[in-house]
Amino acid sequence: MDDSDELRDPVEMLGEEFVQRLRSGEKPSINEYVAANPDHAEEIRSLFGTLMALEDLKSHHDEDRWQTPSGETSEEIPETIGDFRVLEMIGRGGMGVVYEAEQESLGRTVAIKVLIDHFSDSPQAVRRFRREAQAAARLQHPNIVAVFGVGQWERKHYYAMQYIAGRSLDRILAELNALRGTDSKGQDADDLGSATNVDDELAAEIAVALKQGRFEPSLAAKKVTAPPSVSKLSPTSPTVGAPSSPAAEVTSSALGETREVASVRLSRDYWRSVAGIGVQAANAMHYAHQQGVLHRDIKPGNLMLDNSGRAWLMDFGLAKLLDEADLTTPGDVVGTLRYMAPEQLEGRATTQTDIYSLGLTLYELLTLRPAFDRAEHYAALLKLKTSTTPPEPRSINPQIPADLQTIVLKAISPDPDHRYATAHEFEEDLQRYLDDVPIKARRTSSWEHLRRWCRRNPAMAALTTSTLLLLVISCFAAVFGYLRESHLRSSAETEKSRAEANLGLAAEAFDTIFRRISVQSPTRSLADSTNASELGETPTPRLSNNDVQILEGLLSFYDRFAEANGDSKRWQYESALAYRKVGEIQQRLGRAHRAQAAFERSIELLKQVPAIEVSSQTPPQLEMASIYQQLGDLAMAADQFDVAYQRFQEASEIIENGDAVWSETPEAQLQLAQAYSAMGKANIFGQVIPLSTTGAKVDADHARQLLSKSIEILERLVRDYPNTGDYRLELARSWEDYGGMMSFAANGRPSSDGVKQAIQLLEELVAEFPQEAEYRRALAWTYAHAAEFSSEELERDPLELLQTARELLVDMPPEYAEQPETREIAARISQHLAERKLDLRELDGLDELLEESQQTIIKLAEDFPYTKRYQFGLARNFYLQAIVAYERGDLNQASGDLEECIANCGLNSGGTIPAFLIHMAAKAQRGLKSIHTALGNNQRAEHAASEEAQLQRQLEQVELPLPPTPLTNDPWRIDRSALGETSSSKP
């Protein structure tokens, strides 16, 4: 270090290092420097915050310079990227380039975002890019741009997404200002979005339609003529706000004509159109929050409006997945500074942070100017002046409705506690404005209630003067009485609010602990899935007994707290949800009885909670229906089919008899379809699987009605929500169940029709969403099921299907690979492959296949001892091993395997023994008789013959079909026609 360095201020030197790290693409943490230099903490916080803001300003100007794709680029446009044929570049941002492309395998136009080559060598940049794609891909919502797939081609990292006919709101705002002939009172063009080039015909047309109120919700519902379509559409990246080169070649005279048409004042329909945009964006945002995704960069540039008036939320490049580790260091500032909430500068981001940013975006749409002057806003943020508020919108334009102003000001309150608690509440208030009913953001006076009622009911407003006077007097009397009563209750309400706040903190604490513990479980929902291996993360360990003990201890706390706060319906609701969560954990651990107890306690608490007293997105009744289905699943796993049927029926009746407000929602209808399907399966399994000595037969008509109702509901959901993959997944499962079980119940052999229908649906899903592990797993299972049919029935090669199924499971994310469902599918595939090879007399590789399946099933049977299908799987595995040894001439080994097969059939375990296990044991005894006869062990052969005869007598009492034999060349086959034969098999 030279003398000049020694004389320099150490904070200044640290600041230079901080800026260099920022410019190199790193995300250094201010807290990191504060911790390392505590003596200079105050100076570092003040200086580094300013440096970060200045760098943010510089990066925004740099990014704006790149927004117009017609500008020069240092990167050559590739002809192809993997399966995508590149048509043209349509946008470029700080880290990515967006191309219009054709996906050749599916023949569809997509937008493909490619990480700039410069960042491909940065592991952090690559991780962020993948996280952006994965965050968006887990969200399937009609107002969120869909991501189709993510991949790498040569050195290029990319992801493909939906191609939308629209423009980002920053461009629409620029056009709206051009329409009124102003540049927003001399402000920088950047103040109204990064896109400054307004020579864009599509943006002008959408702006005209918006200004004229053609997107007003009630008009849109009547399908009023949409703006003229254009030949080139904008894709769904926030960096593609600028038009593509061909679209930019619109003459200024044409644009002038478009703008002249719209030279009218902003009308009531415009304000309602803005509110409609807010409703759509808030709904999408709330859905994202429910799925555990914080956007953290809501702004006009990341919201698109298409030419039908639909709003699209896009660019999840800075999103945080709440159930995963963040890619930023605690304390890092993430987002676009001008749209940040005050707390975001401190590195704290919550769902209310997104609400604040959306509020600022709506503010700009209302006022056609930013909420804050850029310099003033940055200064306020850097000094953490949380009391800063923008001018009231009506002070800028008195035409703005007062209710819209109130809603927006509540959303952008500097104090998060004064904002809407959830995006759903934000959406509801905007919808209330559209419905012309009082909003909740402020207390509406009785006179306001009356005025609104009169406006909605003009005929009733024609009352006599005396009646109106009486109504006014009544209103004033009601207000006076209310104020007086409110004054008397103020102290009590304050105490009640404090108590409720304490309850909320306790519930939040439980949820936090639950998330930290339960995230270790390998079982995760579809919305939570991510490929941890691609991010360089290691899979989390499974739950331990200590973890469960912690949760159970918390439950006892919940019980005591609920008892002490018996009048709090909200706390009973929270307690019910807590019990359900612990029940799910117990279920994952294979503790069926404990899971059942937790679920039943949850239902008991939910029954005490009226729906109207719970502020929740999910009504208690729907929670109850879902828990009844979980109880049914537990009973099905234990082969208690009559109990399972009853539980599924209770779930369906709750929804069938529920209030239309919630029972007709897609979520409720999906649950109803699942309940019908489960009832149908329980009805059939309850007769096919257990040994029937009473001559009972399957009520096939009833089962068919239930499964048909499930398919009918799911087909309607798929029709109404074609982009929601989960509905198509459930439809595929229902078709597979319908074709397989109904045909088996009728003639003892499944039909391939339902399986082929399921395969078609699932193959389409996997092609559209190749990153979704749940869809790949479902297709693998269906392929394994399909392998039971002949190539003539399937019109496909079963062996190829099994090999493809095996490949689908190879790259399964670790948390999915460890789930019991995935492990069972892998074992089934190995068994089916072994059966096919046996039929072809190909003995090579059979030992490895059967060893794989055996080890997997043994572990499953240990983890879930109440699930008899695992016992059957193990018995089946030993039976196949016995055939392999028999074919090789190793009779002693074959004998030992058959003994193991019989032992795992559980004939002496007590209770009801499924018919398929008796059938398997009978075949094994026939094999033992044959082998011992060949070995000269006459006594053991006679014993085996006696056991076989006894088992066959039991099978003769079963009037239902016997399970089909998957092997064509099964040496010890027992069909219905073979019952009573005890000496037909020979070595």
Where is the binding site for ATP, in residues? Answer: 113
For residues 208 and 230, what is the distance between their CA atoms, to the nearest angstrom? Answer: 14
Q: Which structure tokens are listed for 624?
A: 């109850």
The amino acid that residue 133 corresponds to is A
CB 773 within 8 A of CB 813: yes
The amino acid that residue 45 corresponds to is R
Q: Which of 750, 752, 806, 810 is CA-nearest to residue 781? A: 806
Q: Given CA atoms 409, 415, 420, 426 in this order, what sign does their dihedral have? A: positive
For residues 271 and 212, what is the distance between their CA atoms, to the nearest angstrom? Answer: 10
DSSP assignment letter at 153: E
The amino acid that residue 496 corresponds to is K
Q: Which structure tokens are listed for 876?
A: 């089946």
Cα radius of gyration (the chain): 33
**DSSP string of 894-953, one letter each residue:** HHHHHHHHHHHTTTTS-SPPBHHHHHHHHHHHHHHHHHHHHHT-HHHHHHHHHHHHHHHH
Other CB atoms within 10 A of residue 484 CB:
10
Q: Which structure tokens are listed for 285?
A: 């945002």
Q: Which of 144, 189, 156, 177 is CA-nearest to residue 288? A: 144
The structure tokens 């297709």 sit at 779
CB 823 within 8 A of CB 864: no
Element (H, E) at 581: helix 569-588
Name the binding residues: 113
Strands 293-294 and 320-321, sheet pairing: antiparallel
CB 630 within 8 A of CB 587: yes
For residues 915 and 688, what is the distance between their CA atoms, to the nearest angstrom? Answer: 8
DSSP assignment letter at 298: -
Q: Which structure tokens are listed for 223?
A: 């399908």
For residues 552 and 539, what is the distance between their CA atoms, to the nearest angstrom? Answer: 25
The residues, any chain, with a CB within 8 Å of residue 56's CB and separated by 6 or more, are 336, 337
CB 898 within 8 A of CB 884: no
The residues, any chain, with a CB within 8 Å of residue 656's CB and separated by 6 or more, are 663, 672
User: How far is the first Cα of the chain from the last one, in angstroms, to the nearest whole number?
Assistant: 90
Q: Would you call 101 helix, strand, or coil by DSSP?
A: strand
Long-range CB contact pairs, 458-463, < 8 A, 24+: none
Q: Which structure tokens are listed for 83?
A: 């399966």
Three-class SS of 39-62: HHHHHHHHHHHHHHHHHHHHHHHH
CB 580 within 8 A of CB 634: no
CB 974 within 8 A of CB 922: yes
**What's the gap between Cα 289 and its chain centre?**
10
CB 784 within 8 A of CB 832: yes
Integer CA distances (angstroms), 948 to 145, 772, 837, 920, 967, in order: 62, 47, 28, 10, 20
CB 924 within 8 A of CB 944: no
Integer CA distances (angstroms), 835 to 570, 697, 824, 845, 971, in order: 56, 31, 16, 12, 13
For residues 12 and 328, what is the distance between their CA atoms, to the nearest angstrom? Answer: 24
